Amino acid sequence: MSVVMNAPSTKRRGTGGSMVSQTGSSSTSSQASASAASASAASGVSVPVSADLASLFECPVCFDYVLPPILQCQSGHLVCSSCRPKLTCCPTCRGPLGNIRNLAMEKVASTVLFPCKYSTSGCTMSLLHTLKAEHEEICEYRPYSCPCPGASCKWQGALEQVMPHLMMSHKSITTLQGVCVLPESRE
């Protein structure tokens, strides 16, 4: 299996032996990216590629990544599977949206490392699209919900904000060594 990586990066084995990457900034040119992607696909060898390649998979509506199965309009523009049912025409060219699969882009997508959707919160992981959803469910940078049992609190925030939230918004709960304890009810 070929893996395309952003440069500079640190790669390691992920779940099931698949490759994942923790990336820094990339300065590779678009032309070099295209050459590297071609070389990677042909040889099955991992080569550094800039984030420009992953950006080709951005949905023009929600800016999330278009992942397989990849559908295109008659002019070749891509839209993600979440936005596709809500649209009556292509958001890029206003042409008709058919059910035309772009098999070439699906093949390329299987070699590209996509950044975690929590990268703006600090996550540096880039993963193959087959591992992306699994990682994002357990990513330490994902938003956390209020852990109070039985509370109807709708708060969400970063992991480091959970304890300050509990101390500010749920003062009736006592915290003992990081464990929430509800006060006994008086009947």
Asked if residue 15 is part of any domain, the answer here is yes
Q: How many CB atoms sit inside 10 A of residue 44's CB?
A: 11
Domain residues for the domain of 176 are 144-181
Output the pLDDT for position 14.
Answer: 45
CATH of the domain at 70: 3.30.40.10
Q: What is the pLDDT of residues 130-176, one digit of tens each?
A: 999 999 999 999 999 898 876 688 899 988 898 888 888 887 775 55
In this predicted model, what pLDDT tens digit does every residue of 73-124 receive, in sequence order? 999 999 998 999 999 999 999 999 888 999 999 999 999 999 999 999 999 9
Q: In 3D, which of 107, 114, 108 has the Cα closest to residue 129? A: 114
Please give the structure tokens belonging to residue 55: 């950006």
Is a pLDDT exceeding 70 seen at residue 8?
A: no
Residue 179: its pLDDT value, please?
58
pLDDT over 90, % of the chain = 42
Do 19 and 88 fall into the same domain? no
How many domains in the chain? 3
pLDDT score for 170: 81
DSSP class of residue 62 equals T
